[in-house]
Structure 1
Amino acid sequence: MACLLAAAAGYWVLGRGTPRPTGTWAMGALLASFAFAFASYSPLFEHMVEAVVPHVARLLSNSASLAAATSVLALSFQVNLQELEARRRIRLRLALLGASVLGMSVLFTWEQLTHRSPQIYALYLLVFISYLSFAIIDFLRQALEQSKSTRRSSVRIGLRTAAAGCLFALVYAAYKLTILFSLGLGFHLLSAHSECSSFVATRCIFSVDSPALAVLLICLGLTLPAVVYPITQARRHRWEIRSLDALDPLWQDLSAAMPEIVLPAGALDEEPATDADFILQRRVIEISDGILALRPYRSQHVQDAAAQSAGRATGGNAAVVEAAIIEAALASLQEGQYPNEIAPPSTTDITVRKDLRADVHWLLQVASAYTLSSAARVAEGGKPEQTGV
């Protein structure tokens, strides 16, 4: 766990490139703190440091846990609040962190000088649990609030995963609080300094398994959006390229017949030519403008015949009817003849669709039907019509 977290911290700090995204350093500090906390549990590290200062591994581990909790809050503040407000809250949490670590260090030294007094250790736990619980509850509240308002599903799932990690962290805090009351009241319900024997032992479930699961879920939840984003972008880019290829035959015929629908060169052309999203938006606008320009040539007779042939003109059949109308309208435009009765616009006109993906989805259906119609004419031995100029 320590090695994985250290590698993840290195990626966030060294592998993010420039300019660094908001929260990069907070995320790196979070992962590094957790890595150090788990490293302090290893026998090798513990024996090395405790050969110098007895029992100091506990202080280092607890201090790293508080630093990690503070890093979680800092990351949350940086991505959810305005810069000035985020800095103000982070400074306050850092001051509380410094005071808590200083208090724990003083109490740890006092405890060692008094031969590990249970009462001093109870005060030490009080400082540790107080700040840790405060940080966990603070982040849990923010994670739940932000998960309700975010639009990205990866962020929403990640925040809820981190919130689940906070619940395991609260289980660990409750366990430490039980030890605190046991020591303070002299009940000695749990031995404060006993070691775990296995991961399934009752004591280890609360003292080791719960914080391990908390760290895993919180780190996974906060990292998930960064991992999912490039995958989502790659899938979107592939969809855009395929959509451009599918729309090309329809666009070619419309732009050849009506060159004026092609957007003129200007500021928009400063965008990279390889930006598929930009090009796809242009294609949607130009095809929609072409369909709009063909309104005087839309034949009601063609619409009725196509609807009768395709069945009820709803769902996918509506695209077949629209493709037939566009094909006939292009031929009428070339011949300069208006139909006797003009067909109304499609019920799925561009004005009632809400976003680019919805526009593309509809036009892809129309373009597919248009391409199949043209291919069918060629397969039947018909001469493909040159609808352009």
Structure 2
Amino acid sequence: MNAVFLGMACLLAAAAGYWVLGRGTPRPTGTWATGALLGSFALAFASYSPLVENAVETVVPHVARLLSNCASLAAATAVLAVSFQLNLEPAEARRRIRLRLVLFAASALGMTVLFAYEQMTHRSPQVYALYLLLFISYLGFAIVDFAQQAVRQSQSARRSSVRIGLRLAAAGCAFALVYTAYKLTVLVSLGLGFHLIHDHTECSSLVATPCVFSVTSPALAVLLICIGLTLPAVVYPISQARRHRWETRSFDALGPLWQDLSAAMPEIVLPAAPLQDKAADADFLLQRRVVEISDGILALRPYRSQQVLETVQRTTGAGPQEKAAIVEAAMVKAALAARMAGRLAENVAPPSAEAASRKDLRGETQWLLQVADAYAHHSARVADDDQTPVGA
């Protein structure tokens, strides 16, 4: 138990420190709220640990429960603050956050007063019931509020990591509602004097009753909500690194095709931009290269022979997409040779249907990568007595 809860507390505390101190400047929207969220959850996990619980209760008896409950309410408030800052206009987000902070402060203060009075009355069940009512009211309100936002936003989010993260957070809210229902059952039991559930039972197992409701459920809720809210921030730099690597490799792979086209038609090369570092601005350079290659292929259209197209199509055997790339590469090579020889096509071949189907820059880039690979390795030989070497 100590290893599980203290380990999670240390992990969350480290994440909170990184989020607040290691994010650089200017800090992204929601930085402080997310730091408060992770820190509150770290305190909640620490308070679940028997080691911490025994240590603090040697000073103030039973105070671990108050610390845990206040940390849970603080975390719920921080969750709402993160959600508001990311999904609402700044003015509306600030208004809602201020209202939640006032409610949280009032709830925490009321719980502290009731806890102190409960201790003075030798743990009066009636006072504890009022304490629980205050805790459950704000916690249930915050959970339902966030769950509604998470479900709604997950349906409209464009990034898959955001959608998955919000759905994990919504699942965490479900476990939190299980915990709230358990606390409500304790409250009803106390209010009616049934004493069906002993809420103060010490837990030695995460799956024993009532610990599965009082400890395991909130722990799973904390874990899922933390993972859900931080998943996009973790996935984003990984996806950016993968995208950067793809852009750099694509830029290099398009090099041979671009060199032949630009050597034959220097006019397709766009005006020189300020000195760019390819490693730092691969996206800009790749877009530039794709545009220049596309312009070069368009400029070769008067030299694309229908006879050559039919010959290449007959002699090329491959799958539909691979064949289309090989045919296009052969057509580019033949058109370049015809242009350098000064021979316009008598019957101009239509542009590639595969190229026309690519509607965005990434799709066009992927198509040109296939053409460039075929151009360098698999392009068909075109029988032409006057063919001139390309790129000479």
Q: Give TM class, smaller chain.
A: over 0.9
C-alpha spacing 1:147/1:270, structure 2 compared with 1 (3 Å): farther
Tell me the number of residue pairs that the alignment of Structure 1 and Structure 2 aligns. 381
List gaps (5 residues or longer) in structure 1. 378-383
What is aligned with 2:293? 287
What is aligned with 1:327? 333
Q: Can you list the C-alpha shifts for 1:196-251, whole angstroms capped at 9, x where unaligned?
A: 23222121110111111111111111111111111111111111121112111110
Which of 334, 359, 362 is the matching residue for 1:357?
362
Q: Are 1:387 and 2:387 matched, yes or no?
A: no
Q: What is the 5 A alignment of 1:295-334?
A: 295-311=301-317, 314-334=320-340
| Structure 1 position 311, deviation (Å) | 4.5
What is aligned with 2:108? 101
Q: Can you list the C-alpha shifts for 1:340-381, whole angstroms capped at 9, x where unaligned?
A: 21101111235x42222211111111111111146x87xxxx
Three-state SS of the structure 1 residue aligned to 2:353 is: coil
Q: Structure 1: which amino acid aligns with 2:340?
A: Q
Q: What is the 5 A alignment of 1:1-389?
A: 1-266=8-273, 269=274, 272-274=277-279, 275-311=281-317, 314-350=320-356, 352-373=357-378, 386-388=389-391
Q: Can you list the C-alpha shifts for 1:136-184, whole angstroms capped at 9, x where unaligned?
A: 1111111111111111111111111111111111110000000000001
Q: Can you list the C-alpha shifts for 1:253-288, whole angstroms capped at 9, x where unaligned?
A: 00111111111125xx46644311111100110000
Q: Structure 2: which amino acid aligns with 1:281?
A: Q
Paired with 1:11 and 1:386, the residues of 2 have a C-alpha distance of 58
Q: Structure 2: which amino acid aligns with 1:81?
A: L
| Structure 1 position 187, deviation (Å) | 1.2
| Structure 1 position 108, deviation (Å) | 1.1
Paired with 1:313 and 1:222, the residues of 2 have a C-alpha distance of 44
Three-state SS of the structure 2 residue aligned to 1:315 is: helix
C-alpha spacing 1:248/1:159, structure 2 compared with 1 (3 Å): same
List gaps (5 residues or longer) in structure 2. 1-7, 382-386
What is aligned with 1:381? none
Asked if 1 retains the 8 angstrom alpha-carbon contact of 2:340 and 2:388, the reply is no
What is aligned with 1:380? none
Asked if 2 retains the 8 angstrom alpha-carbon contact of 1:33 and 1:67, the reply is yes
C-alpha spacing 1:146/1:270, structure 2 compared with 1 (3 Å): farther
Paired with 2:166 and 2:388, the residues of 1 have a C-alpha distance of 56
Q: Percent identity?
A: 72
C-alpha spacing 1:215/1:234, structure 2 compared with 1 (3 Å): same
